């Protein structure tokens, strides 16, 4: 059995978006990760939505969230048949150094399973989806 996490195929996945989440996906299509921050009080909000939960402002600015680190993760067996051979899928919840209070959950791909750990630094990569690109994580290597 392969000891690296699988890289899912998202090419048929249609991403639903609205006015408040569209900038995230537009930047992602260019390979950039940005997260929404209140334009008035600077509080991050996630998922993207119409109001700041701290001051109820609708003003928003999109900024790079800084270095990502694994906050938690799980390892899911992927059965034979869905892939050529069975493997493991690793959903990871990631916090960012410059975006306090919010976390992004996605797949950690192509990671040696024995190197996946809480606090491990990760980078964001973008993989093609039906109508845009989707963010996944890879372990950063020094």
Partner 1 sequence: MKREAAIVGVGATPYYFRGTSHPQTIYELIDKAILAGLADAGLGIKAVDGMTFFAGGYEAGLICEHLGIDGLTFAHVVSGFGSGMAGIFDLAAMAIETGRAETVLCIGAMQQPAHKRTGQALNMLASTTEGIFHTIAGLSGPGQALALQTRRHMHRYGTRREAFGEVVLASRAAAANRETALRRKPLTMEEYLASPMLADPLCRLDFCLETDGALVFVVTSAERARDLRQKPVYIEAAAQVGKRDWGRAFFWLNQSEDAFTTAGAGPVAEHLYGKAGLTPKDIDVALIYDHFSPLVVMQLEDYGFCARGEGGPFVESGAIRLNGTIPVNPHGGHLSEGYVVGMTHVREAVEQLRGTAVNQVRGAQRALVTGGPAPMPMTAAILRN
Chain residues 103-132 in contact with partner 1, contact rule CB under 8 A: 103-107, 118
Q: Which of 28, 33, 65, 89 binds partner 1 (CB under 8 A)?
A: 89
Q: Are 134 and 21 in contact (CB under 8 A)?
A: no
52's tokens: 């700041």
Closer residue to partner 1 in complex, CB, 59/130: 130
Q: Are 110 and 123 in contact (CB under 8 A)?
A: no
Nearest to 142 by CA among 115, 113, 118, 105: 115
How far from the centroid of its chain's Cα atoms is residue 106's Cα? 4
* Measured distance between the N- and C-terminal CA atoms of the chain, rounded to whole angstroms: 27
Residue 134 binds to partner 1 (criterion: CB under 8 A): yes
Residue 79 binds to partner 1 (criterion: CB under 8 A): no
Smallest gap, in angstroms, from Cβ of residue 71 to partner 1? 7
Chain residues 22-61 in contact with partner 1, contact rule CB under 8 A: 46-49, 53
Which H or E run includes 69?
Answer: strand 68-73
Query: How many whole angstroms separate alpha carbon 50 and alpha carbon 21?
Result: 9
Contact range with partner 1 by CB under 8 A, out of 13-21, 29-37, 59-67: 13-21
Query: How many whole angstroms separate alpha carbon 13 and alpha carbon 57?
Result: 32
Q: Which of 2, 31, 50, 77 binds partner 1 (CB under 8 A)?
A: 77
Residue 75 binds to partner 1 (criterion: CB under 8 A): yes
Closer residue to partner 1 in complex, CB, 131/140: 131
Q: Which residues bind partner 1 (CB under 8 A)?
A: 8, 10, 13, 15-18, 20-21, 46-49, 53, 71-77, 89-93, 101-107, 118, 134-136
């Amino acid at each position: 059995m392969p000891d690296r996490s699988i890289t899912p195929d998202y090419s048929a996945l249609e991403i639903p978006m609205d006015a408040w989440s569209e900038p995230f996906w537009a930047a992602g299509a260019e390979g950039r990760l940005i997260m929404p921050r209140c334009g008035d009080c600077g509080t991050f909000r996630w998922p993207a939505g119409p109001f700041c939960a701290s001051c109820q402002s609708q003003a928003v600015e999109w900024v790079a969230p800084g270095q990502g680190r694994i906050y938690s993760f799980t390892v899911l067996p992927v059965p034979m048949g869905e892939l050529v051979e069975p493997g493991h899928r690793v959903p990871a919840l990631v916090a960012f150094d410059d975006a306090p209070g919010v976390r992004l959950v996605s797949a950690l791909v192509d990671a040696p399973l024995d190197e996946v750990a809480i606090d491990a630094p990760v980078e964001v990569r973008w993989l093609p989806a039906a109508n845009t690109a989707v963010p996944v994580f890879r372990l950063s290597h020094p």
